[in-house]
């Protein structure tokens, strides 16, 4: 099912090379609970990230259901993470501005599952981990143990063949750790679980196989895979379809994020509306052009700040199979919303300002209704506002898409 052949992983730091993995060769059964033990820095998390397609090996081969990954492209890895792998992280890695139901549903949106089916499957997954009554809460309203249960539900919702757990009990107390391990043990009856841990007691109690790593090499394997088992294993696997995030999903993610920063969003939209207000008032065309450009640059800077703030979210999305294009789409959706808001706000402010302007003009010249808002002009300027903000956000969105998912997940 899953085979590693002489896998190496090197990191270049300055003028030196660090060998994180040194010729790892392993084969896993279709259903077993494997614990990988080793001290910090021995390479076990690097190994987990390579198995999960978040990181790339330097040499060797990762063979998945008989298929070599040497020629895998980004889209192949994205599909593999979305359909075949579920991640459970030590720090949960839930998106804070989404409900726990939305967090669990997210992987299904990339798979093209219908809204009704997504909700049904997400609720079922949450019920299986004992959180059926908590679906509308945000992550910050849950305990550590509950958040880890949400992470497990998210990992399971797409029915993956492999669950990868990186220190899943590392941030939990003893009692809660046992509860999480019992859930993982139950799951391992019909799928492969690979868990990285520092806790040998938990590994001994719950695992069917323990692999020990030291300095990037395997030093012990308590239950190695043998050739005779290969013939008995059922190689039937589900077909992996192309994964892609819809623009509506990107809009939803961005809107929820913007709503957590209402003050900044309103100020940004107002700044973007200044050029529109000037344009509709027919005052100093050159100033209008400059103000629109300045507003767009500012929105680009705000989008870049948003990318920095949402770096961990980028890592989370990549871990569940989001492609680089999907990440760009999320931030393009954010600038689209800001642009639309700026355009509408500009129209509203202009309509309000036209009232006193017309009163003053009438008092001075006895001419009424001089300041007006042409409907067609207003619509065109709202469209221009959206185009300018989307263009301003293209560079930050591209930067977001290029972020290394492993580094992004480490961001606090």
The CATH number that applies at residue 95 is 3.40.50.300
Q: Are residues 49 and 180 in the same domain?
A: yes
**Local confidence pLDDT in tens for the 412 residues of the chain:** 799 999 999 998 888 899 999 999 999 999 999 999 998 889 999 999 999 999 999 999 999 999 999 999 999 999 999 999 999 998 999 999 899 999 999 888 887 788 899 999 999 999 999 998 999 999 999 999 999 999 999 999 999 999 999 999 988 888 999 999 999 999 999 999 999 998 899 999 999 999 999 999 999 999 999 876 665 555 555 555 566 777 787 888 778 777 777 776 666 665 555 555 555 444 444 455 566 667 777 778 888 888 998 999 999 999 999 999 999 999 998 888 888 887 777 777 777 777 787 788 777 777 766 666 677 767 777 787 788 888 888 999 999 999 999 999 988 7
pLDDT at residue 263 in the model: 74
In a domain, 189, yes or no: yes
Q: Which of 186, 201, 232 is the last residue of a domain?
A: 232
Residue 268 near residue 296 (C-beta atoms within 8 A): no
pLDDT at residue 283 in the model: 46
Q: Are residues 155 and 304 in the same domain?
A: no
Q: Which of 180, 209, 232 is the last residue of a domain?
A: 232
pLDDT at residue 390 in the model: 85
Q: Are residues 63 and 164 in the same domain?
A: yes
In a domain, 240, yes or no: no
Q: What whole-number distance in Å separates Cα of residue 7 and Cα of residue 167?
A: 22
In a domain, 186, yes or no: yes
Burial (0-12, 13-18, 19+ Cβ within 10 Å), 347: buried
How large is the angle between the packed helices 144-156 and 115-128, nearest 10 degrees?
130
In a domain, 30, yes or no: yes
In a domain, 145, yes or no: yes
In a domain, 237, yes or no: no
Q: Which of 207, 232, 257 is the last residue of a domain?
A: 232
Q: How many domains does the chain have?
A: 2
Q: Are residues 162 and 17 in the same domain?
A: yes
pLDDT at residue 69 in the model: 96
Q: Are residues 180 and 49 in the same domain?
A: yes
In a domain, 55, yes or no: yes
Q: Are residues 133 and 13 in the same domain?
A: yes
Q: Are residues 98 and 180 in the same domain?
A: yes
Q: What whole-number distance in Å separates Cα of residue 277 and Cα of residue 215?
A: 64
Q: Are residues 226 and 278 in the same domain?
A: no
Q: Are residues 62 and 182 in the same domain?
A: yes
Range of the domain at 117: 2-232
């Amino acid at each position: 099912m899953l085979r590693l052949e002489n896998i190496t992983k090197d990191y270049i730091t300055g003028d030196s090379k660090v060998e994180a993995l040194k010729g790892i060769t392993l084969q896993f059964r279709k259903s077993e609970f494997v614990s990988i033990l080793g001290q910090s820095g021995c390479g076990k998390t690097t190994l987990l990230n390579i198995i999960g397609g978040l990181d790339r090996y330097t040499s060797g081969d990762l063979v998945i259901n008989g298929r070599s990954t040497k020629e895998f492209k980004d889209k192949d890895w994205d599909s593999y993470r979305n359909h075949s792998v579920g991640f459970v992280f030590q720090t949960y890695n839930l998106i804070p501005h989404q409900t726990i139901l939305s967090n669990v549903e997210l992987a299904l949106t990339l798979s093209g599952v219908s809204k009704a089916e997504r909700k049904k499957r997400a609720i079922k997954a949450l019920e299986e981990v004992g959180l059926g009554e908590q679906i509308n809460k945000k992550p910050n309203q849950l305990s550590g143990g509950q958040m880890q249960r949400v992470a497990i539900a998210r990992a399971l919702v797409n029915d993956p063949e492999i669950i990868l757990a990186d220190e899943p009990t590392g941030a939990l107390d003893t009692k809660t750790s046992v509860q999480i391990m019992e859930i993982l043990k139950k799951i391992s009856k019909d799928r492969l679980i690979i868990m990285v841990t520092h806790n040998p007691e938990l590994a001994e109690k719950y695992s069917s196989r323990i692999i020990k790593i030291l300095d990037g090499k395997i030093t012990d394997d308590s239950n190695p895979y043998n050739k005779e088992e290969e013939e008995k294993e059922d190689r039937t696997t589900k077909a992996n379809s192309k994964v892609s995030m819809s623009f509506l999903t990107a809009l939803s993610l961005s809107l929820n994020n913007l709503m957590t920063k209402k003050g900044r969003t309103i100020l940004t939209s107002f700044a973007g509306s200044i050029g529109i207000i000037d344009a509709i008032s027919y005052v100093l065309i050159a100033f209008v052009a400059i103000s629109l450009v300045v507003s767009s640059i500012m929105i680009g800077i705000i989008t870049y700040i948003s990318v920095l703030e949402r770096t961990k979210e980028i890592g989370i999305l990549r871990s569940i199979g989001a492609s680089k294009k999907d990440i760009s789409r999320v931030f393009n959706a954010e600038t689209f919303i800001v642009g639309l808001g700026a355009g509408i706000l500009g129209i509203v402010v202009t309509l309000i300002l036209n009232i006193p302007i017309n009163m003053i003009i009438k008092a001075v010249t006895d001419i009424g209704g001089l300041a007006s808002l042409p409907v067609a002009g207003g619509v065109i300027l709202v469209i221009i506002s959206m185009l300018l903000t989307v263009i301003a956000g293209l560079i930050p969105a591209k930067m977001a898409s290029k972020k290394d998912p492993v580094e992004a997940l480490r961001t606090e």
